[in-house]
Amino acid sequence: MTENKNISTKLVKINFEDVSIVQLVEKCFSSESEGICLICSDLNYSWSLFQSYFEIQEAAGGKVFNNKNEVLFIYRFDKWDLPKGKLEAFETIENCAIREVEEECGITNLIIERQLNTTYHIFERKHKLILKISHWFLMNTNYTGELKPQIEEGITQVVFKNEAEIEEALRNTYQNIKLLF
């Protein structure tokens, strides 16, 4: 969402004031588009209005590098992903990011270097529309032990990937994950 009517983007541009949020979400669910760019005249007001149509779920995770400059990936639901999970009550997003990466991957010694982009995606659960806001952090680790996927979360693999392997993984991942590379 932007107030910049002249933004350069590959995404389809739609005027926020001219569209029904419900129809917009239905259109996104029924198409294979990479996303849309909503143009508005008042970003704060439009963003608040947009969010009011959803249950908000905040999450945090990490793009984790090891000493070999490889990136940590998880494999879940037949796609490569980065580790992340739900923010718990009274938890900071930084603590959430570290906790979730540790839990999902069986890793320790994580150090946050800086915050990355925040990503957004919409899904439906139990007939409710959820707007998931994921806060991402660039992390480093010197961990060399065994990685352990959190099977109860549907994670079947946890691996560090080199540059060539990352390119391959990004062919089978979510659009939001590609934004972090």
**pTM for the full model?**
0.88
Range of lowest pLDDT (35-39, 66-70, 130-134): 35-39
Q: Which domains does the chain have, with CATH numbers?
A: 12-51 (no CATH), 55-178 (3.90.79.10)
Tell me the C-alpha distance between 37 and 87, whole Å: 27
Q: Using one digit for the tens of pLDDT, what is the confidence trace for 114-172?
A: 999 999 988 889 989 999 999 999 999 999 999 999 999 999 999 999 999 999 999 99
Torsion, CA 110, CA 135, CA 116, CA 15, rounded to 10: 170
Q: Is 122 left (phi over 0), alpha (psi -120 to 50) or beta?
A: beta
Give the model's confidence band at 45: pLDDT under 50 very low, under 70 low, under 90 confident, else very high. very high
Question: Any idea which residue has 């089978």 for tokens?
Answer: 172
pLDDT at residue 12 tops 90: no
For residue 116 the two structure tokens come to 């990355």
The predicted model gives 39-47 an average pLDDT of 92
pLDDT at residue 32, rounded to an integer: 64
Paired with 118 in beta bridges are: 135
The candidate with the shortest Cα–Cα distance to 76, out of 61, 57, 56, 54, is 61
Segment 70-123, tens digit of pLDDT: 999 999 999 999 999 999 999 999 999 999 999 999 999 999 999 999 999 888
